[in-house]
Structure 1
Amino acid sequence: MPRVSEDVIKQAAAVDIVGFCEANGYELVKKSDRWYQGADHDSLMIDRKKNSFQWFSQGKNGNSIDFVRTFYGKSFREAVSMLTEKDYKPTVIKEQPQKEFVYDIVHDNSTEQVERYLTEERGIDKGIVNALIAKGLLRQDKRKNCVFV
């Protein structure tokens, strides 16, 4: 049997896993523009940006070729053939511009209730709590919530 060429392997690996699943009736749940989850396997996550999958419960991961081998029980050669027999679209992700981070928590002038909560109710050492407050890493907001800055 002739060897599969590197170009054909690259073409198969570039096939969008989500597009492949849609074309072949493998049900996914869209979690965001980037992340998809298996409908039957909730520990299956597909990263559309990287065009890769991670099946956490089974410890398996990889590209589109690995996906077809894992979920369709195909050999390497069969998976490459299956991925290249149709004109599946390669992964194209439009990058959304990053929004500038806005820190909108209004701090209280006191940390009294946070100190009491962490030391008395949660049992955290008073020295640790005071050190975090002194370094500005622990604050209290206007609603008396604990804020780890």
Structure 2
Amino acid sequence: MRIQSRPMPFTEEQMKQVFDTNMIDFALQHGFEIEKGDRHSVHVKNSGGLYLFNHGRGYYCFTTERKGNIIDFVKDYFGQDFKGAVEMILGCRAYEMTEHYIPPSEKNPKGDLILPPKDKDFNRTIAYLTKTRGIDKEIVYAMINAGKVYGARTEAKKDGRTYAFHNCAFVGYDETGKARYCALRAPSADSSFRQDVENSDKTYGFCMEGHSNRVYSFEAPIDAMSHATLCKLHGIDWRQDHRVAEGCLSDKALYRYLQHHSEITEIVFCYDNDMDGKLKDGTPHNHGQVQAELSAETFADLEYKTFIQTPVNKDFNLDLLDLRKGLTHISQTEREQGQER
């Protein structure tokens, strides 16, 4: 059954203007007084522990332990709901200059994304995802067949020699089928290499399109595929629900996805469980779960039903690997008991 949902209240252009609005300029225009903080932030006078980051796109309050983007800031400090916050911000021109703040230089417009060439075969990528990461083979091949996962080969020259690098590529597409985002990851448990391809647009995430009215939001493609595998192992049709991977702690790809899927009424935030996370001053801080709570509140204000699904370990891939180990142990025990009989 297809559930008809309300249209998104703001256009993509309006939301871009909202997220491009400099938070420090906005705060100054609305009566906040700014004083020197540290090299990364400025302090708001008479606020206790409220700091605005120098790049103008976020804040953190040590008193309330809350952080977020400019929408969260307006909701927290001006008593607005989501709609009221966006309307208030749209009355402030994006990156309006003030004499109190010198913004970072503007980046040149992004060019077209050029995907890395495909490797002669995808054996490394398939082995890494299915064996090292424990993702179900059916899911891996489904993503490969959809062009959303492939083995990439890049080359670099040094000292007159050419070196080849093999990586897993995870691709996000726009509504016309054009590739707009690509994340690379080394197909090895011993390598921490990960990188977005130049000119990638994170508002186009790695997506696993479903048919239901529910979408799951993740930080990384491997987590989305791992979650789908966990569902399959528990007898749930992994194709039924939608999944979006942001490639970071952000809701931009989710917001764009929702604009083109009006049937979605429920959002489940599945961000990392950063149990050992810390702020720069050493204060314990679970980055993924703090963002999940903020995101759930933001989209609840848009009249979506929101939920948070927290992995037992740091992420859903580690949960999957733990389950795989448990199933292997059970299988081994059953074999040994069968031999004893």
TM-score class, shorter-chain normalisation, is: 0.5 to 0.7
- Correspondence for 1:85: 91
TM-score normalised per structure 2: 0.25
Q: Cα deviations across residues 46-88 of structure 1 (Å, max 9, x unaligned)?
A: 1122621001211211111111111001111111111111324
- Taking the aligned partners of 2:94 and 2:29, their CA distance within structure 1 comes to 8
- Taking the aligned partners of 1:54 and 1:79, their CA distance within structure 2 comes to 18
Q: Does 1:56 align with 2:44?
A: no
- Correspondence for 2:141: none
- Who wins on radius of gyration, i.e. which is larger? 1
Q: Does 1:69 align with 2:75?
A: yes
Judged with a 3 Å threshold, the aligned counterparts in structure 2 of structure 1 residues 33 and 24 are, in CA distance, closer, same or farther, namely: farther
CA RMSD in angstroms, aligned pairs only: 2.6
Shift of 1:37: 0.8
- Correspondence for 1:24: 30
**1:19–1:88: 8 Å Cα contact kept in structure 2?**
no
- Taking the aligned partners of 1:25 and 1:50, their CA distance within structure 2 comes to 16
Shift of 1:6: 2.9
Which letter maps to 1:89?
Y
Shift of 1:8: 1.4
- Taking the aligned partners of 1:9 and 1:35, their CA distance within structure 2 comes to 24
What secondary structure, in the 3-state scheme, does the structure 1 residue paired with 2:43 have?
Answer: strand
**Structure 2 alignment gaps of length 5 or more:** 1-5, 97-101, 106-341
What secondary structure, in the 3-state scheme, does the structure 1 residue paired with 2:76 have?
Answer: helix
Q: Report the number of matched residues.
A: 95
User: Normalized per residue, which structure has more strand?
Assistant: 2
Which letter maps to 2:82?
F
Shift of 1:19: 0.3
2:18 to 12, 16, 31: 12
Which letter maps to 1:80?
V
- Taking the aligned partners of 2:56 and 2:28, their CA distance within structure 1 comes to 18
Q: Percent identity?
A: 22
Shift of 1:30: 2.5
What secondary structure, in the 3-state scheme, does the structure 2 residue paired with 1:11 have?
Answer: helix
- Taking the aligned partners of 1:93 and 1:33, their CA distance within structure 2 comes to 14
- Taking the aligned partners of 2:17 and 2:94, their CA distance within structure 1 comes to 10
TM-score normalised per structure 1: 0.55
- Correspondence for 1:36: 42
Judged with a 3 Å threshold, the aligned counterparts in structure 2 of structure 1 residues 93 and 32 are, in CA distance, closer, same or farther, namely: farther
**2:50–2:62: 8 Å Cα contact kept in structure 1?**
yes
- Correspondence for 2:228: none
Shift of 1:33: 6.4
Shift of 1:20: 0.5
Q: Cα deviations across residues 84-118 of structure 1 (Å, max 9, x unaligned)?
A: 11324169325xxxxxxxxxxxxxxxxxxxxxxxx
- Please identify runs of 4+ aligned residues in structure 1 that moved more than 6 A: none
Higher relative contact order (CA 8 A, sep 6+): 1
**2:37–2:51: 8 Å Cα contact kept in structure 1?**
no
- Taking the aligned partners of 2:77 and 2:70, their CA distance within structure 1 comes to 10
